[in-house]
Amino acid sequence: MPISNDKELESVLNQMRVSLGLRKLTPLETGKDIEETPTGTFFFVSSTSLSHTYFWRGENYLEEVKKGAVVDNRRNLVYDYFEIHYFSEDGLYLIGFVSADVASSISKLDGKDEKKILLSPYLWNSLNTLIHLPIKRIVKADRRIISTDDEKSIDVLDVVIK
């Protein structure tokens, strides 16, 4: 779904959260690993916590993320936090932005072939298509810092999905 500005994004995310029956974490639920977080919630996780190189212990990516990624109830734009929707033990979804052509190509994956994509936590340049990516489809994710033209930087994830 192409998004053109932050106001539109917040509206779309709020509609998505309501339709999925998700609630924001309370302050006492923050600072924990995902596996300690209740289902039926949405929260934010740093790109570092989602990076394969940060926590890899040899298990599958979904299990590693559940054990190693620490949740917050606020989006931290300084550290480029990604939003995550957690509606069941198997229903853990990463919210991010890809280019329109990548969004089209990943919708055709069959679970056997792998594809490497660039995922941003927010709108930037041609990364303007919002996706709701099941974390169980992720094979690997590595954090990368992109220097932008305006002398800022963005933490993104290079993600391999099936």
pLDDT at 74: 87
pTM value? 0.88
Question: What residue ranges do the domains of the chain occupy?
Answer: 6-161
CA distance 49 to 32: 12
Rounded CA-CA distance 83/42 in Å is 7
Q: Which one, of 62, 82, 73, lies nearest residue 157 by Cα?
A: 82
Q: What is the pLDDT of residue 59?
A: 64
What integer pLDDT is reported at residue 6 of this predicted model? 77
- For 148, counting Cβ atoms within 10 Å of its Cβ (0-12 exposed, 13-18 middle, 19+ buried), the class is exposed
**pLDDT value at position 1?**
63
pLDDT in tens, the chain (162 residues): 677 777 888 888 899 999 999 999 999 999 999 999 999 999 999 888 888 655 555 568 888 888 888 899 988 765 589 999 998 877 899 999 999 899 888 877 767 788 899 999 988 888 889 999 998 888 889 999 888 777 788 889 999 988
Q: At 140, phi and psi to the nearest 5?
A: -160, 150
Q: Is 149 helix (H, G, I), strand (E, B) or coil?
A: coil
**23-24: strand order across its sheet:** 23-24, 41-46, 81-86, 92-98, 129-134
Q: What is the pLDDT, as a whole number, of residue 56?
A: 59
Give the β-pairing of 81-86 and 41-46: antiparallel
